[in-house]
């Protein structure tokens, strides 16, 4: 693992995958390509371009993005099964830099009710999926879906097993947007401390915004060792959305006194990206939305600095 990356906050954008799950936000292949090109311009490290096994259209769009994008890693999501992993592997094949992101649920409720699998079977499926993904790329990410409601000992066991299998990024999602910052930071800190070889992987977080805390939880994770944040432009995503990319990036950049890492995002591209995603998806940006809203930090007397203006300049 490259040591310099430890001080880099990796920005993993999932606008085209988790964001697209917002009702009515489905995009055509051409629209996805336009957004992917803009995400590359923005300086996003990883573009999650879709979920290849979901449909031939999804796979086709990922493949097209993988052919075009040169400066960002192009990723496909895959459940931890052979069909999904192979579909993801084929879709990212043309990429200069490609990643497979495989996941399986690890909470008792999901394992029992959704997967109908025993914990041992979940560990086995996770390891098998990671090993299969490595046939296509050495850049494999593993997510423990519903990590927020998973038992700590079991999470440690799954992560230990997938790291041994070769996963390079370990993602800890708050799938249902249930956590609060102090607890989420503590969960990440404990995982980093307890999981063997945790220093050999990048720890990642993926927070949903059901309690309006997705950005706060993501930042708490960063303060406790996470070096990848999964987020979307304008916080797009199903239900209350995902962590907003622009808020995470600007918080880390603005509070350099607090954070020991920074992203490589070109902040001059934040507002154009926000506008493009809003236009294509038809999801308007509320005027008082932090960073990209039309009124964000505007002040009648003009005394206070406008962060929206700063997000249009390079800080």
Question: Closest approach of Cβ 210 to ligand KIV, in Å?
Answer: 11
Task: Name which of Zn ion, ligand KIV, none residue 45 binds, using a CB cut-off of 5 to 8 Å depending on partner kind.
Answer: none
| Cβ(147)–Cβ(174) below 8 Å | yes
Question: Closest approach of Cβ 208 to Zn ion, in Å?
Answer: 6
Q: Is 45 in the site for Zn ion (CB under 5 A)?
A: no
Task: Name which of Zn ion, ligand KIV, none residue 15 binds, using a CB cut-off of 5 to 8 Å depending on partner kind.
Answer: none
User: Residue 18 or 20: which CB sits closer to ligand KIV?
Assistant: 18
Contact with Zn ion (CB under 5 A): which of 18, 20, 45, 84?
A: 18
Q: 36-49 in b/e burial notation, b at 16+ Cβ within 10 A? A: bbbbbebbbbbbbb
Question: Closest approach of Cβ 184 to ligand KIV, in Å?
Answer: 14
Conformational region of residue 221, where left means phi above 0, alpha means psi within -120 to 50, and beta covers everything else? alpha
User: Residue 68 or 240: which CB sits closer to Zn ion?
Assistant: 240
Question: Closest approach of Cβ 144 to ligand KIV, in Å?
Answer: 8
User: Residue 171 or 273: which CB sits closer to ligand KIV?
Assistant: 171
Cα–Cα nearest to 137, from 96, 197, 105: 96
User: Residue 22 or 171: which CB sits closer to ligand KIV?
Assistant: 171
Q: Could you list the residues that contact ligand KIV (CB under 6 A)?
A: 18, 77, 103, 143, 145, 171, 173, 175, 206, 208
User: Residue 102 or 267: which CB sits closer to Zn ion?
Assistant: 102
* Residue with nearest beta carbon to Zn ion: 18
Question: Closest approach of Cβ 90 to Zn ion, in Å?
Answer: 23
Enumerate binding residues for Zn ion (CB under 5 A).
18
């Amino acid at each position: 693992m490259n040591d310099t990356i430890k001080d880099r906050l990796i920005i993993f954008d999932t606008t085209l995958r988790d964001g697209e799950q917002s009702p009515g936000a489905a995009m055509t292949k051409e629209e996805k390509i336009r957004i992917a090109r803009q995400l590359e311009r923005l300086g996003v490290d990883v573009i999650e371009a879709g979920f290849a096994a979901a449909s031939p259209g999804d796979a086709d769009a990922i493949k097209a993005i993988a052919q075009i994008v040169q400066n960002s890693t192009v990723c496909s999501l895959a459940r931890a099964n052979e069909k999904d992993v192979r579909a993801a592997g084929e879709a990212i094949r043309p990429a200069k830099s490609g990643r497979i992101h495989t996941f399986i649920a690890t909470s008792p409720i999901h394992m029992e009710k959704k997967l109908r699998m025993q914990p041992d079977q979940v560990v086995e499926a996770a390891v098998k999926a990671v090993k299969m993904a490595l046939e296509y790329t050495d850049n494999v990410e593993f997510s423990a879906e519903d990590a927020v409601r998973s038992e700590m000992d079991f999470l440690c066991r799954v992560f230990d097993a997938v790291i041994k299998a070769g996963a390079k990024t370990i993602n800890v999602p708050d799938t249902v947007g249930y956590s609060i910052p102090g607890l989420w930071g503590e969960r990440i800190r404990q995982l980093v401390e307890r999981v063997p070889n945790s220093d050999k992987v990048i720890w990642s977080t993926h927070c949903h915004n059901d309690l309006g805390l997705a950005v706060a939880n993501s930042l708490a994770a960063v303060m406790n060792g996470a070096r990848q944040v999964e987020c979307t432009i304008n916080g797009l995503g199903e239900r209350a959305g995902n962590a907003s990319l622009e808020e995470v990036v600007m918080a880390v950049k603005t509070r350099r006194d607090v954070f020991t890492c920074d992203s490589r995002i070109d902040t001059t591209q934040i507002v154009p990206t926000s506008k493009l995603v809003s236009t294509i998806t038809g999801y308007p940006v509320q005027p008082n939305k932090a960073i990209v809203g039309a009124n964000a930090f505007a002040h009648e007397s003009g005394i206070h600095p406008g962060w929206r203006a700063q997000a249009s300049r390079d800080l």
